[in-house]
A and B are shown apart, each in its own frame.
Chain A
Amino acid sequence: MDGMTMAEWLDDFLFTYETLIHALGVHGLLALSMYCVMAVGQLSLGQAAFMGIGAYTGALLTLNLGLPFWLVLPLSALAPAVVALVIGGPTLRLSGVYLAISTIALGEVLRVLYINAEWLTGGALGLSGIPRKADLWLIYLLLFLAVLGFWAVGRSKIGRAMEAMREDEAVAGVMGVNLPVYKMGALVVSAMLAGLAGCLTAHSNSFIGPNEFGFEMAVTILSFALLGGIGTPIAPVIGALVLTSLPEILRPLQDFRLVINGLIIVVAVLFLPRGVIPFRLRRAP
């Protein structure tokens, strides 16, 4: 650091690691979107698909319509929320497996759609030249607000109802929890967060392609929450930080990233059923 001022050093650091630092923040948001569904005892493998909808919506609104970013961002959250409503309607009433399966299907259907609707989505080449409007501070501000929001709501009757649902759904119903509304609410909020993350990705990478939001990404997002745990909203974010920076730290093992992710999931499920951050939020004043 000799000869450099602190500000210069920070600039240098941010420049070198910009992509990683952006990814860390976005993945934190994705981990929270996973948390939101798992917190009511459901399993979705559609977070990557919701992210993709947000990414394509955002990119297209910016590229084709030239809408201002402050408008693009909420619209990118809204689009996957609508899809979540449509998917959740028939599946949430059935057992939990149906949500998992139908969200996997959603991801595949969308991938094929992105590839074939070439006139709109750029097909297999994807969309490029998206202006870089998502800066670091915006990403981390949103992440901070999301954690804070989950923490606040978690310490209310809503948080208690959600924990009750994941411990014993039937009994939660007997306590007076409107189960369909809670499940749908969680899925919609999670889709909005994933959509935000997608939009931020599109506007920080300046490129998106159809294969970025498939099954592999869905499992990666799931592994954030499995590794971190879901006892507190910060836990899955830490899971995301670890899993996102690990490949960077273990550069030589880059090729084995998927293997390592898979191993971490297996180890987490077998030995750390509550994740590496096993604490739970207190829900009484």
Chain B
Amino acid sequence: MTTLLSASRLTKQFTGLLAVNEVDVEVSAGSVHGIIGPNGAGKTTLFNLISGLLPLTSGTLTLDGRDVTSAPPYQRTRLGVARTFQNIRMFSDMTVVENVMTGMHTRLKSSGVASLLRLPGFRREERAARDKAMELLAFVSLADKARVRSGDLSYGDQRRLEIARALAGDPRLLLLDEPAAGMNPTETRDLGTLLRQVAKRDITLLLVEHNMGFVMDLCDRITVLNFGRKIAEGGPREVRDNPAVIEAYLGTKVAARLAKAHGA
């Protein structure tokens, strides 16, 4: 399998805190790759480094063999990186369909002059964009809310709108930061189905999630962070049975007791 995203010795230092500390991650094209770890482990910071929201302290980042270490966010988007946010960040005054169309920014080619003069080519492109946005909304089951103000959507709807908006840019790599947070079990199950369909569209998924069942079920490969460092990596089963991972999540004492119980 070819590597789509390769992060090497990725480091982010906030004053006095190494939020991400020399992390190596390779994400294979076409895979669903999970990032897990306790609160404050550095997962969101890692996403911010990959999407270019934060400059990195050191390390390198390549996308499909191309060095993007210091590329601004818009260039990474053009190259096919999209993301959602842990603390939902939609354009809440815009309607739902406008949000999705904003996600198409890099794929729309009409010039400012064409839009100023409302040339036929521009109008055709806008209509096609709207139609595509409606398809994406249907895909995430939001078609009936296209004209609603985004800020008025329910929490779960907002999470799915963020996914539709991210998909609108035709990404190759989609970063999802806790997409199931705040969802009830039914919504979470539907989200799993949705993400499997996304993966079928040849989109590589990099997923941060606290819901272990969800992650284990969906991911081909999982990277575990703790205090900014990578402490384990492998398939779901491998990672689940890794003592370092159990320790990170449960604390040393519990882990020791578990190990004893297993040994006995």
Per-residue B-contact encoding for A261-285, CB less than 8 Å = 1, 0 else: 0000000000000000000101111
Q: Which residues of A contact B189 (CB under 8 A)?
A: none
Stretch at the interface among A6-14, A61-69, A135-143, A162-170: A162-170
Q: Are A284 and B118 in contact (CB under 8 A)?
A: no
Inter-subunit contact A152/B118 (CB<8 Å): yes
Most central of B51, B91, B129, B133 by chain A CB within 10 Å? B91
Q: How far is the CA of A274 from the CA of B97 in the complex (A)?
A: 22
- A170-B95 in contact given A158-B112, A160-B102, A160-B105 (Cβ < 8 Å): no
A157 in complex: contacting residue of B83, B91, B105, CB < 8 Å: B105
Interface size on A, residues (CB 8 A): 28
* Contact residues of A: prevailing secondary structure: helix
Choose one: B94, B127, B165; the contact of A283 (CB below 8 Å). Answer: B94
Within the assembled complex, what's the spacing in Å between the Cα atoms of A149 and B114? 11
Whether B74 and A179, one on each chain, are in contact in the complex, defined by CB atoms closer than 8 angstroms, is yes
Contacts A161-B105, A176-B106 given; does A156 touch B89 at CB 8 Å: no
Query: Please, which residues of chain B bring their CB within 8 A of the CB of A160?
Result: 94, 98, 101-102, 105
Q: B254 at interface (Cβ–Cβ under 8 A)?
A: no
Interface residue count on the B side (C-beta < 8 Å):
41
CB distance from A193 to the nearest CB of B (A): 14
> Across the interface, do A163 and B103 meet the contact criterion of CB distance under 8 Å?
no
Residue of A nearest to B165 (CB): A175
- Say yes or no for A174: interface residue by CB 8 A criterion: yes
Flag whether A178 is at the interface (Cβ < 8 A): yes
Q: Return the CB mask of A102-128 against B: 1 if under 8 Å, else 0.
A: 000000000000000000000000000
Q: Which residues 13-65 of B sit at the A interface, judged by CB distance below 8 A?
A: 51-53
A137 to B25, CA, bound (A): 65
Q: Is B152 an interface residue (CB 8 A)?
A: no
Query: Is A97 interfacial (CB-CB < 8 Å)?
Result: no
CB contact between A173 and one of B72, B95, B104, B122 (< 8 Å): that residue:
B72
Chain A residues within 8 Å of B, Cβ to Cβ: 149, 152-153, 155-158, 160-161, 163-164, 167-168, 170-179, 280, 282-285
A-B contact pairs, 10 of them (CB 8 A): A157-B102, A163-B94, A172-B102, A174-B83, A175-B103, A176-B106, A177-B74, A282-B95, A284-B97, A285-B127
